[in-house]
Amino acid sequence: MELVLAIFIGLLYACGVYLVLRRSIIKVILGVFVLSNATNLIIFLAGGIRRSGKGFIPEGAETIDPALISDPLPQALILTAVVISLGISAYILALKFRYFEVTGTHDLDQLSKTDD
């Protein structure tokens, strides 16, 4: 399962980089969104995938195998990354709105006359 997710994350990074290198500002924004989702998945994969991992130690249990407990740190990091990416997304969309108001275009090739 980890191999399939690693390949999928690699494809997401490849698509994100491809979109960021495009000449349209909308494709650049979509590329940033894809890259942030790929980063969230790689943090999730770094935490390890366990089926039926318990999040809490049962009450009254004196000893428990650490392999049976899921690690909450990657989940907390992903939650933080989602909040940060939401803020960055709102900022990028506001910049795109203002960019289109000033230039009147979405294409980066048509920006030769913006120095006036």
Domains and CATH numbers, the chain: 2-50+69-104 (1.10.287)
User: Does residue 116 have a pLDDT over 90?
Assistant: no
- Please tell me the predicted confidence (pLDDT) of residue 38: 94
Q: Tens digits of per-residue pLDDT, 41-91?
A: 998 888 777 666 666 677 777 777 767 677 778 888 899 999 998 999 899
Residue 54's DSSP bridge partners are: 69
Rounded Cα distance, 15 and 24, in Å? 15
Q: Tens digits of per-residue pLDDT, 62-75?
A: 777 767 677 778 88
The pTM of the full predicted model, rounded to 2 decimals, is 0.75
- Please tell me the predicted confidence (pLDDT) of residue 39: 92
Q: What is the DSSP letter of 112?
A: T
